[in-house]
Structure 1
Amino acid sequence: MKALWRNMEQDRERAVISWSPFMISLVLLMSIPMVFVLIPRIPPPKTLPGIPNIDETDDLALFRRATLASDEGGEGDGLRRRPASVPKIAFLFLTNSDLTFAPLWERFFHGHERLFNVYVHADPASRLLLPPTQSFRGRFIPAKSTQRASPTLISAARRLLAAALIDDPANAFFAVLSQHCIPIHSFRFTYRALLADPGARPSLTSGRRRRRSYIEILSGEPGLQDRYVARGEDVMMPEVPFDKFRVGSQFFVLARRHAVMVVRDRRLWKKFKMPCLKSMVDSCYPEEHYFPTLLEMRDPEGCTRYTLTRVNWTDSVGGHPHTYRPPEISGNMIKNLRTSNSTYSYLFARKFSPDCLDPLIKLADSVIFRD
């Protein structure tokens, strides 16, 4: 009887073993429809792309170097005294395409090589087909990917500021520009306008004139509330209360101490680097908020509160300003672009299509650089 029972047990085990592959295959086959049923129920990401961790790590190391290499601390207390040197302007170009207007900028720079430096952040995915001209050759900094509606444009501008701080302690002003920007005055006029700011006040500690930054800082603008909650309700609190949240052009000219302030900042950056909600993509313009908000909170009296780059928003499309075309280019247009409601003339203008280069070159000596 025991032998019979033992044989039955062995037969059952062999049956289970022989049927196991079949059962496994059957179970897997029956699971496939369940996968398609469950997949739609897995929620997609609710936010737009953020900044990769590796990019953030690289940037922090760069910003530490810039802070240590700088001649001024974030609040004007020097890490070491600036050596006697002629102040320079650092021209910082953010681009994702060819620097089409480089020939016009070369005419602008010509003869003033001791008074400026050029730095370019070119998106690694961009295809730059035109060979760099003299002033742009070898001036490209290590760059990371950028895209609209993300804090990557803030990071790119901060990298440019850090690179310029490290490169030359004589850099006194830092002008952020795009490949679509052009100068609308001569270099001599531009340089004198920046350094002769009558509103600059002497420092209480050193007695030296504290140069101001030319950055647009606006409050009470339509849609500002939606921009504030673009990352979610109360996400910006407590570091950035709504009554301190500002908007302004992403193109500006910073004084050196403010450039240092930007690369030193960690407190506000941890809020502005957060990605926006996908549902708020039409209100997500971090690069238009971070810089004016930071300076409004840290040194409002040290800013003119207006930009020196003229932009025409009268017929904007998809968040882009009016793009000037060759038929619009004329001497009167240049003079109109200079006109400002502030105490200063505009010094730069955007946005110009690449085929505007030739008509602009024709006006260079007779109008643009003739002040």
Structure 2
Amino acid sequence: MKKVSFGHRKLWLIWKLLILLTLVSLVITLLRIQFNPSSSQLLRGSQHPISNDDLAFVGNPKLAFMFLVRRDLPLDFLWQTFFENGDAANYSIYVHSEPGFIFDETTTRSSFFYDRQLTNSIKVGWGESSMIEAERILLQAALEDRANQRFLLVSDSCVPLYNFSYIYNYLMGSSKSFVDSFLDMKEGRYNPRMASVIPMRKWRKGSQWFALVRSHAKVVAYDDIVFPAFKRLCKRRPPLDASKGHQNLKLQKQHNCIPDEHYVQTLLAMNDLERELERRTVTYTLWIQSAANMETKSWHPVTYTYATSNPQQIKRIKDIDRVYYETEHRTEWCHSNAILVPCFLFARKFSRDGAMRLLSLGLSGLHTSP
């Protein structure tokens, strides 16, 4: 009996040891995940609550137009013509505007935008994390419709350069997302305090205007690791104002991180998804450097007015077939599934007068393919 009892105790001790080792292994794994969140498996694993969403979609795929606007849509008359020439079964429209703003017959000239505003919109500040939070809210809303297979972020000053059919086929014909993304090595934009969450080798910069495939849209919409780090540690440096004294001068020493220029690019890089990207945007913006003095110089997008919205300007944009990224010594030839294509489908920033001129002269290609 004593031998049997001893054998039972020995077996019980072995089981206890195995259970203890399993628990220790689990704790170590969790700690590794917490402090090394660059793992693509981790980031993809925190995506979304929509059941059966990863099953192959059967049906007519739609292109989700997600408008990120301040209040109304100044160029709604141009988009009216654009959507009139498209098949309603091929697109969805979502608008993030200021909280409480309603799109109806009193606020927009286009019925395509009636009641397209999100009811859970937030107040957005330029250069703040609220900008990427609004993008995520748009993506979350658009992901509710499983027919949406491409997700396009559009500004309130964007104009389409081609008609709906061409843009739809261009984006749907590619298996990749279009995300302007390049390695950002400029000192002062990366905050070293991010290192525990975002390794510097994964730090990227680019345009906020993207066109995502559904799997990438889910990564952005339901990321719960990188986004909180951006909210805490990616802050825009305030403009220099000597009249505010020492406090303002002190703020000039902080890192100048613009969240919407880094978030999507960095997140997808951390998921090891860059091979699944066309690393360029499909929305053209011309940037110039302006400054009252050397201490306040900054980059601003050119606004196209009535005078500059001419045939020569539009042709110049449409003829662009490559983008050069100086920090990576990389030329991105514009192609979709190995076929050379124009780089840009949209352009910004256009004034209302400029957009009216485009429409009147037929320069935006809304009625005909290129």
TM-score under structure 2 normalisation?
0.70
What is the Cα deviation at residue 291 of structure 1?
0.3
Closer/same/farther in 2, CA of residues 176 and 135 from structure 1, 3 Å limit: same
2:269 to 293, 296, 300: 296
Distance (whole Å) between structure 2 residues aligned to residue 325 and residue 239 of structure 1: 43
Distance (whole Å) between structure 2 residues aligned to residue 136 and residue 369 of structure 1: 20
Closer/same/farther in 2, CA of residues 108 and 235 from structure 1, 3 Å limit: same
What is the Cα deviation at residue 248 of structure 1?
0.8
Find the counterpart in structure 2 of residue 38 from structure 1.
none
1:214 to 165, 171, 178: 178
Task: Classify the secondary structure of the residue corresponding to 2:193.
Answer: coil
Indicate if the aligned counterparts of 1:121 and 1:143 stay in contact, CA closer than 8 A. yes
Find the counterpart in structure 1 of residue 338 from structure 2.
none
Indicate if the aligned counterparts of 1:93 and 1:179 stay in contact, CA closer than 8 A. yes
Find the counterpart in structure 2 of residue 149 from structure 1.
127
1:225 maps to 2:172: no
What is the Cα deviation at residue 283 of structure 1?
2.1
Indicate if the aligned counterparts of 2:308 and 2:354 stay in contact, CA closer than 8 A. no
Indicate if the aligned counterparts of 1:97 and 1:127 stay in contact, CA closer than 8 A. no
Which residue identity is paired with 1:283?
N
Indicate if the aligned counterparts of 2:75 and 2:157 stay in contact, CA closer than 8 A. yes
1:308 to 273, 279, 282: 282
Find the counterpart in structure 2 of residue 12 from structure 1.
none
Task: Classify the secondary structure of the residue corresponding to 1:68.
Answer: coil
Distance (whole Å) between structure 2 residues aligned to residue 70 and residue 118 of structure 1: 23
Closer/same/farther in 2, CA of residues 99 and 184 from structure 1, 3 Å limit: same
Distance (whole Å) between structure 2 residues aligned to residue 92 and residue 366 of structure 1: 20
Indicate if the aligned counterparts of 1:184 and 1:369 stay in contact, CA closer than 8 A. no
What is the Cα deviation at residue 83 of structure 1?
4.1
Task: Classify the secondary structure of the residue corresponding to 1:307.
Answer: coil
Indicate if the aligned counterparts of 1:91 and 1:117 stay in contact, CA closer than 8 A. yes
Task: Classify the secondary structure of the residue corresponding to 1:254.
Answer: strand
Does 330-339 or 297-306 show the bigger shift?
330-339
What's the CA shift string for 1:253-298, capped at 9, x where partnerless?
A: 0110011111221121121111526525782310110100011121
Structure 2, unmatched stretches of 5+, are: 1-44, 239-250, 292-297, 323-333, 336-340
Closer/same/farther in 2, CA of residues 82 and 352 from structure 1, 3 Å limit: same
Indicate if the aligned counterparts of 2:148 and 2:214 stay in contact, CA closer than 8 A. yes
Indicate if the aligned counterparts of 1:91 and 1:176 stay in contact, CA closer than 8 A. yes
1:136 maps to 2:113: yes
What is the Cα deviation at residue 368 of structure 1?
4.7
Task: Classify the secondary structure of the residue corresponding to 2:121.
Answer: coil
Does 247-256 or 125-134 show the bigger shift?
125-134
Find the counterpart in structure 1 of residue 214 from structure 2.
256
Superposition pairs for residues 128-277 of structure 1, below 5 Å?
130-131=107-108, 133-141=110-118, 142-166=120-144, 168-197=145-174, 211-220=175-184, 224-229=186-191, 234-274=192-232, 276=235
1:360 maps to 2:358: yes
Indicate if the aligned counterparts of 1:66 and 1:165 stay in contact, CA closer than 8 A. no
What is the Cα deviation at residue 354 of structure 1?
2.2
Find the counterpart in structure 2 of residue 115 from structure 1.
90
Of all paired residues, the percent bearing the same amino acid is 31
Find the counterpart in structure 2 of residue 335 from structure 1.
315
Does 119-128 or 263-272 show the bigger shift?
119-128
Alpha-carbon RMSD across the aligned residues, in angstroms, is: 2.6
Distance (whole Å) between structure 2 residues aligned to residue 112 and residue 227 of structure 1: 43
Closer/same/farther in 2, CA of residues 123 and 71 from structure 1, 3 Å limit: farther
Indicate if the aligned counterparts of 1:70 and 1:169 stay in contact, CA closer than 8 A. no
Does 155-164 or 329-338 show the bigger shift?
329-338
Distance (whole Å) between structure 2 residues aligned to residue 137 and residue 270 of structure 1: 33
Find the counterpart in structure 1 of residue 38 from structure 2.
none
Q: How many correspondences in the alignment?
A: 281
Find the counterpart in structure 1 of residue 23 from structure 2.
none
Normalized per residue, the structure richer in helix is 1
What's the CA shift string for 1:109-140, capped at 9, x where partnerless?
A: 11411100010000238798732522111110
Superposition pairs for residues 272-291 of structure 1, below 5 Å?
272-274=230-232, 276=235, 279=251, 283-291=256-264
Find the counterpart in structure 2 of residue 19 from structure 1.
none
Which residue identity is paired with 2:156?
Q
Superposition pairs for residues 78-93 of structure 1, below 5 Å?
78=54, 81-93=55-67
Does 269-278 or 258-267 show the bigger shift?
269-278
TM-score under structure 1 normalisation?
0.70
Find the counterpart in structure 1 of residue 50 from structure 2.
69
Indicate if the aligned counterparts of 1:312 and 1:321 stay in contact, CA closer than 8 A. yes
What is the Cα deviation at residue 300 of structure 1?
1.3
Distance (whole Å) between structure 2 residues aligned to residue 239 and residue 180 of structure 1: 34
Find the counterpart in structure 2 of residue 30 from structure 1.
none
Normalized per residue, the structure richer in strand is 2
Distance (whole Å) between structure 1 residues aligned to residue 309 and residue 75 of structure 2: 14
What's the CA shift string for 1:188-215, capped at 9, x where partnerless?
A: 1111111222xxxxxxxxxxxxx21100
Task: Classify the secondary structure of the residue corresponding to 2:215.
Answer: helix
Which residue identity is paired with 2:276?
G
Which residue identity is paired with 1:68?
P
